Amino acid sequence: MQHVQRIARADVTGQLTSKTSAGWQEFGRTLRAWRERRELSLRGLADRIRWDYSLIAKWEQGKNRPSFEAITLLDAELGAGGELVTQALRAAMAETDRLRRGTVEAVDAKASTRDEGGDMERRRLMRDAAAVAVGGAVAPVLATLTDAWQASEPRISGASVSQEMIDDWEDAADLHAQRAYVDPPAVVLAGLAADFADMAPHLSRSQPEPVHRDLAHAAARHASLIAGKWFDLGNRREARRWWGKTRSLSERSGDTLLAAWLTGREVLYRRTDPGENLDDVLLLAQQASRLAGDRPSVPLVAALCAEAQTLATLGRHAEAVATLREAEDVFDQFPSQIIGLDSNWALCGTYFDRSLIYTLAGDARRAAEAQSAAEGLYPLEHRTSVLMALHSAALHARTDPEQGAQQALSLVEALPATRWDVRVKATARIVSDVAPEKARALPAVRELRALTTGYRSA
């Protein structure tokens, strides 16, 4: 039956490239290198991802362009850390540049008033993302429509953008943040790439100071999300680069609350990285708190929670609980209906933080209370729902290691491979780490430890 399913999918997926391009040949070589590194045959990889082996062979030869679903699945299954996604984006760029030159020149009446090189750079990642996600043929249309909408909006005096464009990028950041909880990291990254590429040339141009600040504000939010998605894909080098960009853009925006919020978000990722010095991460969390100031705000609560999570990861549980309670006191000082930079987080309070910190501290009662309070607040496919379910498995693992590990394995198996990312692995690692030493020889515990090797408990 599985073989039949693979053949059926091959019949409808895997678009032929108009001609063998250097970009897709390079993607194919990278794919083959990762497959051979994992000591998998074509048929062996086909069995894992449920695609026909002959189609995978064509991808490796650069004869067919895989769908976005296939690319993200291959990257996750082979543990390529985003390299296959990156190669695919580059290949799509070259392909859609060629397609667009054949379709857009006739309709892009404003091309003569813009520098062509800057125009190409502005839309480069947008075309990449669109090409991989929905196919090269439609990508030029999407680029043209975006240009047309922007051209139709009146510019702010002395600026290269309109207020509507800035507002649209702020709205886009909200949407990307929401989708980041439910979509695979590579899918979210593709959308973020499209919007950031659209903003990039305006950031480098001379703008009136208010426009300069507003552009930097929207771009900082995108850069933070881009860093997070690269981290989820396992590409820490790119993540660090984009966190640096986030900090510089936050500073340019002049909004210290934004800087506090985004610094706190950076902490939440970096504390799960086993290559990080947690003392340095703790200093970063404390910097976020200083940026937030003393007045009650969502960024201040978020910064304190980030600090509490880091303390708990360091094993300093009493300090973690004290800092968490400080965050809760601040949270209680403003209305529950407050609309902050992440209204979903604000409305749900600190349930996730309580669940994590009390789970790490071994306080089963308070951890279970937090998990119960959050029940129903998140859809089942929401990242927070998955992570808190893993916290619950960790609680069980302390008293019944086999049951807790089996519970975690069931949660992991239910996830699509494209969502089995760094932070999920780090959270699953808690379950095996809290199991008593003598229980680590149990089959389920050993299997879970093998799946999460190289990740710090989150």
* Cα 48 to Cα 137: distance, rounded to the nearest angstrom: 30
* Cα 281 to Cα 275: distance, rounded to the nearest angstrom: 11
Per-residue confidence (pLDDT) for residue 233, from 0 to 100: 83
Res. 215: pLDDT tops 90: yes
Lowest mean pLDDT among 240-249, 359-368, 433-442: 433-442
Res. 107: pLDDT tops 60: no
| 9 domain-assigned | yes
| 260 domain-assigned | no
| 56 domain-assigned | yes
| 59 domain-assigned | yes
| 69 domain-assigned | yes
| pLDDT (tens digit per residue) in 15-44 | 444 455 788 888 899 999 999 999 999 999
Q: Are 93 and 124 in contact (CB under 8 A)?
A: yes
More confident residue, 148 or 109: 148
| 380 domain-assigned | no
Q: Is 315 left (phi over 0), alpha (psi -120 to 50) or beta?
A: left
92 pLDDT band, cuts 50/70/90, is: low
More confident residue, 327 or 150: 327
Domain span holding position 69: 2-13+16-81
For the purposes of burial, counting CB atoms within 10 Å of the CB of 454, is it exposed (0-12), middle (13-18) or buried (19 or more)? exposed
Give the Cα-Cα-Cα angle 446, 448, 452 (nearest 5 degrees): 115
* Cα 155 to Cα 110: distance, rounded to the nearest angstrom: 15
Q: How many domains is the chain partitioned into structurally? A: 1
Nearest to 410 by CA among 386, 446, 441: 386
More confident residue, 255 or 128: 255
Q: Quick one: CA dihedral 53, 50, 18, 33, positive or negative?
A: negative
Crossing angle of helices 163-179 and 209-232, rounded to 10°? 20
Q: Are 405 and 415 in contact (CB under 8 A)?
A: no
Q: Return the CATH number at 30.
A: 1.10.260.40
More confident residue, 149 or 254: 254
| pLDDT (tens digit per residue) in 141-181 | 555 666 667 677 788 889 999 999 999 999 999 989 988 98
Per-residue confidence (pLDDT) for residue 64, from 0 to 100: 81
Q: Count of alpha carbons within 13 Å of 251, Cβ hemisphere only?
A: 6
| pLDDT (tens digit per residue) in 381-411 | 888 899 999 999 999 999 999 999 999 999 9
240 pLDDT band, cuts 50/70/90, is: very high
